[in-house]
Structure 1
C-alpha cells in the first residue's frame, strides 16, 4: 500500500510540474493580409541613433558638434524617430527590450511569462540567438539554442553554444560558425578587426536564418542577434572610428536584411543604448558612468522595422525602450500577454487584430453593422486582418457569463474574459493540486498509523 501511494504521489508530482508547451489558438483572418512568418530582432550594442538618424546632431559633453555617419541600409522601413532607453546599461537594457518592462533587470528575464520568448514559444516558434553581448544566463535560458560570447574580448574571443531543444541540424550549423570566427579576425587590427567581429555575427545570423528557411520551412522562428563591436569601438576608439564602424555595419547588414525581405521575415533593428564622447576627437567614449548616462547621445536608440504588414517612413511621437517588445508581438500577430510589461505597442501595422483570452472555452463572435462576421468556441482567439478605424461588437458567452464590448480599432485590442471573483473556478491543475494534497495527507496518516502499530 505504501509503495503504491509513493508511485501515485510521484506520478502526480510529475504531471503537476510538467510545463505547458504550445497553446492551441483559434485564429480567424477576416481579410487577406500580408504578415511575417518569422522575425529577426537585431540589437546593436552601443549604437546611438543620434549618429545617423535624420534631423539629429550629436554633441560632445563640452558642447562640440560631432560628425554623423553616412548610411543607407540602416534607414529602411518604419523608422521610429524618437525612442530612448532609461537605462544605458547593457544587461538592464536588453532585459527591458525583451520584457517590455521599464524596470526590468537580468533576473526579471527568468520569470515565467516575462519575455517575448515565452510568448513565441507558446505559439510554437523556435527561439534561437547569436549574441556577442547581452547574453547573460537568463537570456540564454530563454533560447532553444544560442551561440554566444563567453567573454567580451575581440582579441581573444571565446564562443560557446547552449542548446536544449534545437531543430535538427541547427547545432551543427552553430558549431560550424563558432569555428569560423578566428578566420574573420586573423591579420586584422583596429577598425577592420572590430568590423570583422561584427560581420562574423551578422553572417552567422544570416546562415542560421537561411538554414531555418530551407530545412524547417514550416517552423516559425524568432532569431535574436547582438553585435558588440560598435560598443567596444565607442569605448576604445575615438568618435571618428565609431562612425567608421557604423558605416561598415551599414554595408555588412545588407545580406541579412535581404534574407528577411525575400523570405517574409520581420526585421527589427535597435540598440540597447547609445554612446557619448567628452570632446570631438576624444579617444574614448562611454554611456553608463555618471558623466555620460544622462546625455541624449547615450539614451537615444534606433528602432527601424521592416515587415510586409507595416507602414514605411518616419514615425513621429515619443517612445521608450519598453515599447519594443509589445510592438514586436503585435507585428507578428501574437498576443501581448507579457506578465510585467508596461510598454505600449507602436501603431505601425497596416491593419488591426483583436486578441481574446478566457479562463475556459467561450463562444465568441464578432459583429459589424448588425452582421455576424465570425463565431468560434475556444479559450484563446485572434481575429486578424481588420481594417483600421473601423468599429465592431465583440460578444462572448461562457462559464463566467455573457460579455459584450464595442471595439473601435485604432490599433490592436486585447480582451480577457473571466469568471467573477466569487465564482468557483478550479482549473485542471488546481484540481491536481487538491488531489496531490489529499494524497500526501492520506499517505502521512497511513505512515503514522503504521509507526504506532
Structure 2
C-alpha cells in the first residue's frame, strides 16, 4: 500500500474519478463529535494507568458506554494539551492551526455537501469555530452556576432548531443548580441530553454537530483526583442516552477529548497546560471511540494523533476533503475503499478468482464496499496484487508488473531450484561420509 499517496489523494483536489460500488456500505445520516473537556484516557482505558507528579498511582473510572462498543483507538495524543488550541486541531486536522484564523474546517466541507453544522459548547470556543455553525448553543465560560447559554443562528436555520435550542437554553439551571458532585454531573448531562434530543429532531436532515461537555475539566481544576474520577463516572448514564439516540437514528458518534488531566498528588488540584503538566501522558493521551454505521468493532493499536480525527470523520461521512490536514484516515471503516489511478485504459478488480467489478473511461477509479483482504487488479494485460485493510490507494502509472501466470511459473521454478540445490548438498554429504 502507499499511505503517503492515499493521504495525498484524500486531502488534495483530485481529478475526476469513477465510483464503482462493489459491496454494501453503510452511510451515516449525520455525525456527532463529542469532546469531553479534560478527560484523559489514562483514567478510563484498561490499557493505561495514571500517576500523579509525585509518582503515586491514581484510581480509574469505568465508563461502559465509552469502552464497551465501537472502534476504539488505544493510543491517541493531542499536539498541545490546551482547550482552544486542541479544538482548532480537531476541526482542521492541522497541528499548527491558528485558533483565531482556522482556514478550511470540516464544517466548511460538510456545508458544501448540504450538511447542517451545529454546536453545543459548554466552554464557548474561538469565534472562528462558532462562525462556522448554522446554529450554536454556547456558554462563554466554564462556570457551573449562574450562567445562561447563548443561542445563535445563521439566516435560514430550520425554525424547529431555533425553538429546540431556546428550550435547552432554559433547562441548564435545572441541571446544574445542585451543589457539589450533583452539579458537576448535571452540567455534563445537560450538554449530552441536549445533543441527544437534537439528534432525535434532525431525522432526515444530514448534519454534523460538535458538542463540548465541560464539567470534567472543571472538576480536575477545582477538586482532587478522587473528585475528578467521580465526575467522570457520572458521565456514563447521559453518555448512554446519547449513544442510544445516535444508534437509533443511524448517526455516527465520535467521542474524544481536548486534553487530559495531571494531579500533583492524590489530594492536590489538577492541571494540564502548565509546563510541569504539559509533557505528561496523563495530559496528552485522550480517548477516541467511533461508533455507528459503517464502523468496525475493534481495538486499534499503534500510535495516533488528534490530527487524524478530521480526515477520519470526513472519510466515514464520504465527504471529499480539500483541507491541508496532516493526518491520515484511521482504518476503522467496515468495508474499505480502494482508489486506483494510472490504469492504462480500464481496470478489473478480482477477488477469490472472481471478477468483482470492471470500469473504464476515467482518470481514477474508486472501488467501494470492499471487505478487508487480498485482491488482484488487472489492467493492460498486467496484474497487481493489493491488500485492502481500510482505505487504500495505488497508482499504476509507471509500475512494472508481471502477469500473474508468469509470476506463478517463476515461483514454481524457484521452489524447484531450491529443492534441487538442497538435494545436491545432501548427496555431497553422503558421499563424504562414504
CA distance in 2 between partners of 1:84 and 1:298 (Å): 9
Alpha-carbon shift at residue 133 of structure 1 (Å)? 2.0
- Contact 1:209–1:223 under 8 Å retained in 2: no
Match of 2:390 in 1: 411
Q: CA deviation at 1:380?
A: 9.4
Larger displacement relative to structure 2 (25-34 or 249-258): 25-34
Q: In the alignment, is the contact (CA less than 8 A) between 1:115 and 1:338 conserved in 2?
A: no
Structure 2 residue runs of 5 or longer lacking an equivalent are: 1-15, 397-434
Residue in 2 that maps onto 1:315: 300
8 Å contact from structure 2 (residues 33, 211) kept in 1: yes
Once the two structures are TM-superposed, the CA of residue 416 in structure 1 deviates from its matched residue by 10
Q: What is the match of residue 31 of structure 1?
A: 23
Q: C-alpha displacement at 1:355, in angstroms? A: 5.7
Task: Assess if the C-alpha contact under 8 Å between 2:20 and 2:359 holds in 1.
Answer: no
**Counterparts of 1:380 and 1:210, CA distance in 2:** 39
Which of 84, 94, 98 in structure 2 is aligned with 1:101? 94
Is 1:85 aligned to 2:85, yes or no?
A: no
Provide closer, same or farther for how the CA distance between residues 329 and 189 of structure 1 changes in structure 2, counting only shifts above 3 A. same
Alignment partner for residue 229 of structure 2, among 240, 243, 246? 243
Q: SS of the counterpart of 1:277?
A: coil
- Segment of structure 1 superposing worse, 61-70 or 119-128: 119-128
Q: How many residues align?
A: 374
TM-score for both structures, normalised by structure 1 = 0.75
Instruction: Select which of 132, 138, 152 maps to 2:122.
Output: 132
Residues 358-389 of structure 1: CA distance to partner in whole angstroms, max 9, x if unpaired? 9xxxx996522496835488899854212333
Report deviation, 1:72: 1.3
C-alpha contact 2:199 2:249 (8 A) present in aligned 1: no
CA drift at 1:334: 2.7
CA distance in 1, matches of 2:17, 2:100: 29
1:350 to 307, 317, 334: 334
Displacement of 1:33: 2.6
Name the structure 2 match of 1:197: 187
Q: Map Cα deviations across residues 43-99 of structure 1 (whole Å, 9 max, x no partner).
A: 000001111100211100000111111221111212111111120010110111111
Which one of 289, 295, 305 corresponds to residue 274 of structure 2? Answer: 289
1:113-152 paired onto structure 2 within 5 Å: 114-133=104-123, 135-152=125-142
Q: Distance in 2 between matches of 1:67 and 1:168?
A: 46
Q: CA deviation at 1:338?
A: 4.1
User: Is the CA contact (8 Å cut-off) linking 1:366 and 1:372 kept in structure 2?
Assistant: no
Q: Secondary structure at the match of 1:253?
A: helix
Asked if residue 209 in structure 1 is aligned to residue 235 in structure 2, the reply is no
CA contact (8 A) 1:268 1:306 kept: yes
Aligned residue among 58, 65, 80 for 1:73: 65
**Residue of structure 1 in register with 2:348 after alignment:** 367
Partners in 1 of 2:137 and 2:266 — Cα distance?
A: 37
Does structure 1 retain, via aligned residues, the 8 Å contact 2:374–2:385?
A: no
- 225, 243, 260: which is aligned to 2:211? 225
**Residues 6-55 of structure 1: CA deviation (Å, up to 9, x unaligned):** xxxxxxxxxxxxxxxxxx99754321233422111110000011111002
**Which of 157, 181, 200 is 2:172 aligned to?**
181
Give the distance between the partners of 2:23 and 2:72, measured in 1 at CA.
26
Q: Given that residues 365 and 373 in structure 1 are in contact (C-alpha distance below 8 angstroms), is that contact kept between their aligned partners in structure 2?
A: no
Maintained 8 Å contact 2:80/2:284: yes
Q: Comparing 347-356 with 34-43, which one deviates more in the overlay? A: 347-356
Please list every run of 5 or more consecutive structure 1 residues that lacks an aligned counterpart in the other structure: 1-23, 396-403, 418-453
**Whole-angstrom distance in 2 between the partners of 1:107 and 1:405:** 47
Does structure 2 conserve the Cα–Cα contact (< 8 Å) formed by 1:264 and 1:307?
A: yes
Partner of 2:285: 300
**What SS does the corresponding residue of 2:146 show, helix, strand or coil?**
coil
Backbone CA RMSD of aligned residues: 3.0
Over residues 179-214 of structure 1, what are the superposed CA-to-partner deviations in whole Å (9 max), with x where a residue is unaligned?
11112223x11211111111111111111110001x
The answer to whether the 8 Å contact 1:82/1:316 transfers is yes
Q: Deviations over 1:218-249 (max 9, x none)?
A: x2111211101100110011111100111100
